[in-house]
Amino acid sequence: MTAEVHDIADHRPHLMVVASDGAYVIPRELIQSVIDGKKPSSILTELVVRRIIEEWLQEVTT
């Protein structure tokens, strides 16, 4: 298995998402584009989406 590595220095701010299959550093702009419907949610893996929802749910229920 190979992973594609990108320098995200020009894409700040960013989020770090620790999913069950590894850690991801995702530009906030990309997440916002998915929220706004400008990019499909399929651009994020299911495991990343699950973790984002899990963390959000923890925040809104505590």
Q: Note the pTM of the prediction, 2 decimals.
A: 0.75
Q: Is 53 domain-assigned?
A: yes
Q: How many domains does the chain have?
A: 1
Residue 34 lies in a domain: yes
pLDDT of residue 22: 93
Q: 2: phi > 0 → left, psi -120 to 50 → alpha, else beta; which?
A: beta
Instruction: Evaluate whether residue 48 is within a structural domain.
Output: yes
Q: What is the distance of C-alpha 28 from the center of its chain? A: 8
Q: Is residue 31 domain-resident?
A: yes
pLDDT for the residue numbered 62: 76
- Residue 35, both tokens: 């929220």
Sequential pLDDT tens for the chain (62 residues):
577 777 767 768 988 999 999 999 899 999 999 999 999 999 999 999 999 999 999 999 97
> By the 8 A CB rule, do 24 and 17 touch?
yes
Q: What's the pLDDT at 50?
A: 95
- Residue 1, domain member (yes or no): no
The answer to whether residue 4 sits within a structural domain is no
**In which domain, by residue range, is 37 found?**
14-61
Q: Which whole-number Å values give the CA distances from 22 to 19, 28, 51, 57, in the listed order?
A: 5, 18, 11, 20
